Structure 1
Amino acid sequence: MNLTIEGLIGNIRLGDLHPVRVMGVINLSRESFYEESFAGQDAVLERALSSVREGAKILDLGAVSTAPGSPDIPEDEERRRLFPALEMVLDDLAGEVVVSVDTQRAKVADEALSMGAACINDVSGLLDPDMAPTVADHDGSLIIMASKERPGDLLEMREIVASLGNRLKDAGKAGVSTEKVTVDPGIGHWTPPKGPGHDLGILDGLSRLRVLNRPVMAAVSRKSFIGAILKRPDPAERLQGSLAATAVAVYNGAHLVRTHDVSGSMETIRMAEAIRGRPPISGSDGGIEVEVFDHSGHPQDLLWAFARLGVGEAGARALGLKGSFQALSIRGVTSPEATVIKQEMLARGGDAAIPMGALRCDPGDMEVLVLGTAAQVRGLVKNLKGQPFNLPTVAGAIEEALEKLDDPKRYW
């Protein structure tokens, strides 16, 4: 397990160590909630060229609207709208951009991938049982949106995370390469029970998707929750709200932004990405790498809160270390080293997740997830420095990763 997220859509790499990518929407459906985004056959190529000039690395062609109240579009009509446009884009922009197709139908996906599309964006969450095997047959990329019985019908992050986790398993069993799967939490008024509060909660909790270890796509462009909050019923008037929501999505971990407004989004994305910074990871030393993948509370800051309460200086220092939580991934350790780390954390009241193979003393490099307070991690580092094997190197890598939390070079 590698907690530094890395993925592929076509030949475009996305994840923690790559720029946030932009997916431009090519809307072939007149029923879309945002009428101005519609591109007829005579306008498709210019819309695609414009999006690429403005910075889109991926284009997403869709011929069926999934907005609430949209009519059912027969498969023949989806094909009539989609395939001529797809052929034009693939012929004129071959090698310049990766093309994705937004469809819920495996037969449509099969033909699109055969034509040269690299990715299928399935908002139904693989409701068509043939979708994942079809993508696997073409060794294609796949975007899975959180859905249960119909697109976007999951309301809270706890069920969204669980659903996407299960769909990832399904895709893997069907033969889809895990590296080629991206997840989408399904922000938007997809079903009547879903309101602006649900979308805000999903956007605020986007970082919870990191546990799935897959790139995250944010599709917030001009959606109804923005209109409800800003009292902008016309999607054409929601650009500023879209940019604000995009910035929050990127800061909270989005690796891919799907948007109707490529040019308008680029600077917003780059600024939010700079503030988010790169993951705090130690440089590989002797095959050991440490990443701080979660932390909350800062010991020095907490001193002021305790001082305000009248806590003594020594007590405040001790409480500050206990009030800060840290979660670390340590990669490249052996079975004995993993076992020692686990024992050291348990002895301090913390814990560490180690592979079952470590208990069997299996050979090869392993990963350990350390969970504890700053005080417990500090004690771990101190004791590892006097341990055998490569554990002193592990201690140094932990210190280096923790120092990078406040290193300005992580941001710029």
Structure 2
Amino acid sequence: MFDWGSLLKPGPCFIGVLNCTPDSFSDGGRFVEPALAFEHAHRLLLDGAKVIDVGAESTRPGAQPIDEPEEWERLKKILPLLRQELPPDTLLSIDTRHVMTAQRAIDLGVHILNDVTGFSDPKMLSLLRDKSIGAIAMRSTMIDNTLSMPPYSDPRSEGSKKIEEFLNLTLRLKAASVTSQQCLMDIGFGFGTTYLEDAALWEYLIHRQMDLPWPYERLCVGISRKRFLAWRFQQPNLPSQQRDLLTREAVSTLIGKGYQFFRVHTVPRYS
């Protein structure tokens, strides 16, 4: 049976991002070749990541969705290489919303499904009946099977709707008998949100963690290099790859509040 708690000895748990995409917001195009993908995954492990999260579909603002065959075409050489060449106890996660990709990844020995649509597809959700599979379920805003990305500076927005979306996600998975032992929840910074909505989500994590409908120790915070950090620190034009220091400060604050799982592009170092 999969148990996220086993990864907290010692904690926290950093989940390293491996984007095998040509167009991700942070490092698109850098790791599409299998050898480069392996090299980066190995570096993340050496730096302290406990999970490698592999994705082949970009979810940056304005990215075009891809279908399952194209997604698998990007993964079919990389996943076997990682499974064969990384240490045998390495935990691999697949970042996908497509059930065919998820099942093929499981067949190759991937341990965790990370679904940015929160397992809204019943076929994806059914894969979690296998309790040996871990999961990360994210809140996001979908319109016609496409991630909604409103103008980030929209002054009319506020966060209550996004918080409600997150609450509804947790209730839906609880109703499907998914537990916090098996599944982490991701509140979804930057996914269908404006700056004001991201700010409301941040304040909710910082000041209302005891109100969360899921144990806050089993939240995965995916704030690494997000636009919200640049705006929050009044550096809105700061390029994504120059946001690692801001990521470190945010992660440090959240660790101080008891959060333990973080999806990151580089593993923060603490003195």
Q: Are residues 162 and 90 of structure 1, via their aligned partners in 2, closer, same or farther at CA, if it must alter by over 3 Å?
A: same
Q: Are residues 14 and 28 of structure 1, via their aligned partners in 2, closer, same or farther at CA, if it must alter by over 3 Å?
A: same
Q: CA deviation at 1:56?
A: 0.5
Q: Contact 1:103 / 1:120 at 8 angstroms: preserved in 2?
A: yes
* Residue of structure 2 aligned with 1:217, choices 217, 220, 223: 220
Counterparts of 2:29 and 2:269, CA distance in 1: 18
Name stretches of at least 5 consecutive residues in structure 2 with no aligned partner. 150-157
Deviation per residue, 1:25-55 (Å, 9 max, x gap): 1110111011367312230111011111110
Instruction: State whether structure 2 residue 11 is matched by structure 1 residue 22.
Output: no
- Residue 387 of structure 1: aligned partner: none
Q: CA deviation at 1:208?
A: 4.4
Structure possessing the higher relative contact order (Cα contacts under 8 Å, 6 or more residues apart): 2
Pairwise CA RMSD: 2.5
Q: Contact 2:138 / 2:186 at 8 angstroms: preserved in 1?
A: yes
Q: CA deviation at 1:148?
A: 5.0
Deviation per residue, 1:345-396 (Å, 9 max, x gap): xxxxxxxxxxxxxxxxxxxxxxxxxxxxxxxxxxxxxxxxxxxxxxxxxxxx
Q: CA deviation at 1:92?
A: 1.1
Identity %: 26
* Residue of structure 2 aligned with 1:8, choices 3, 15, 28: 3
Deviation per residue, 1:258-302 (Å, 9 max, x gap): 11111xx131xxx7xxxxxxxxxxxxxxxxxxxxxxxxxxxxxxx
Q: Contact 2:180 / 2:218 at 8 angstroms: preserved in 1?
A: no
Instruction: State whether structure 2 residue 125 is matched by structure 1 residue 120.
Output: no
Task: Tell me the amino acid that sits aligned with residue 119 of structure 1.
Answer: I
Number of equivalences: 251
Name stretches of at least 5 consecutive residues in structure 1 with no aligned partner. 1-6, 272-412
Counterparts of 1:57 and 1:134, CA distance in 2: 23
Q: Are residues 18 and 30 of structure 1, via their aligned partners in 2, closer, same or farther at CA, if it must alter by over 3 Å?
A: same
Instruction: State whether structure 2 residue 124 is matched by structure 1 residue 131.
Output: yes
- Residue 180 of structure 1: aligned partner: 182
Task: Tell me the amino acid that sits aligned with residue 235 of structure 1.
Answer: S
Q: CA deviation at 1:146?
A: 1.4
Task: Tell me the amino acid that sits aligned with residue 47 of structure 2.
Answer: E
Deviation per residue, 1:182-204 (Å, 9 max, x gap): 1110011x22xx22222122122
Give 3-state SS (helix, strand or coil) of 1:212's partner. coil
Structure 1 stretch displaced more, 208-217 or 234-243 = 208-217
Give 3-state SS (helix, strand or coil) of 1:81's partner. helix
- Residue 165 of structure 1: aligned partner: 170
Counterparts of 1:222 and 1:183, CA distance in 2: 19
Deviation per residue, 1:59-93 (Å, 9 max, x gap): 00000011121012121110011131111111112
How is 1:238-257 mapped onto 2 (pairs within 5 angstroms)? 238-257=243-262
Instruction: State whether structure 2 residue 109 is matched by structure 1 residue 104.
Output: no
Counterparts of 2:32 and 2:84, CA distance in 1: 17
Task: Tell me the amino acid that sits aligned with residue 225 of structure 1.
Answer: F
- Residue 258 of structure 1: aligned partner: 263
Structure 1 stretch displaced more, 45-54 or 125-134 = 125-134
Q: Contact 2:189 / 2:222 at 8 angstroms: preserved in 1?
A: yes
Q: Are residues 36 and 132 of structure 1, via their aligned partners in 2, closer, same or farther at CA, if it must alter by over 3 Å?
A: closer
Rg (Cα) greater in structure: 1
Counterparts of 2:13 and 2:243, CA distance in 1: 21
Counterparts of 1:113 and 1:219, CA distance in 2: 23
How is 1:55-134 mapped onto 2 (pairs within 5 angstroms)? 55-134=48-127
Q: Are residues 210 and 14 of structure 1, via their aligned partners in 2, closer, same or farther at CA, if it must alter by over 3 Å?
A: farther
Q: Contact 1:14 / 1:255 at 8 angstroms: preserved in 2?
A: no
- Residue 152 of structure 2: aligned partner: none
TM-score normalized by the length of structure 2 = 0.83
Task: Tell me the amino acid that sits aligned with residue 40 of structure 1.
Answer: V
Q: Contact 2:14 / 2:49 at 8 angstroms: preserved in 1?
A: yes
Q: CA deviation at 1:210?
A: 4.5
Task: Tell me the amino acid that sits aligned with residue 183 of structure 1.
Answer: M
Give 3-state SS (helix, strand or coil) of 2:142's partner. coil
TM-score normalized by the length of structure 1 = 0.56
